[in-house]
């Protein structure tokens, strides 16, 4: 369907910012809603944020609301997750995922709603 590759992770200190990218290929990027999930060691993969096919709708987990911003640029076939005021609890492998459905039929927090997943990019936040 669509192939996704995340990038932009790294090692940063508490309070820093990072922008993650999700580059897509294979199908029209505008046909997919994009979600971001993260998985810390020994924890389940958890929902972070999602945006609709057009980018006009967004949803954030309470833990990142006000600090993270999700967007997508359909012309560039790329999704983004801007992360601000990072803390140690944000340390995880971050994954982007694509869902080929409209916003009204999507439950963004459910992993099984997504058709394709990237390989993940690691974010480590130190004190």
Burial class (CB in 10 A: 0-12, 13-18, 19+), 126: exposed
**CA–CA dist 85, 49 (Å, integer):** 16
Based on the number of CB atoms within 10 Å of its own CB, is 13 exposed (0-12), middle (13-18) or buried (19 or more)?
exposed
State mean pLDDT over 57-73.
98
4 with 97: CB under 8 angstroms?
yes
Q: How confident is the model at residue 36 (pLDDT cuts 50, 70, 90)?
A: very high
Provide the pLDDT for residue 85.
98
Tokens of 32: 């997919």
């Amino acid at each position: 369907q669509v192939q996704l590759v995340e990038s932009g992770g790294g090692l940063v200190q508490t309070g820093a910012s990072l922008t993650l990218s999700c580059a897509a290929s294979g199908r029209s990027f505008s046909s997919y809603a994009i979600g971001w999930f993260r998985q810390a060691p020994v924890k389940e993969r958890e929902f972070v944020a999602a945006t609709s096919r057009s980018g006009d709708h967004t949803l954030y987990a309470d833990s990142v609301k006000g600090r993270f911003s999700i967007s997508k640029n359909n012309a560039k076939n790329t999704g983004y997750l801007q992360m601000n005021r990072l803390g140690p609890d944000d340390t995880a492998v971050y994954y982007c995922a694509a869902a080929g459905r409209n916003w009204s039929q999507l439950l963004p927090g459910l992993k099984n709603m997504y058709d394709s997943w990237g390989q993940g990019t690691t974010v480590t936040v130190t004190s």
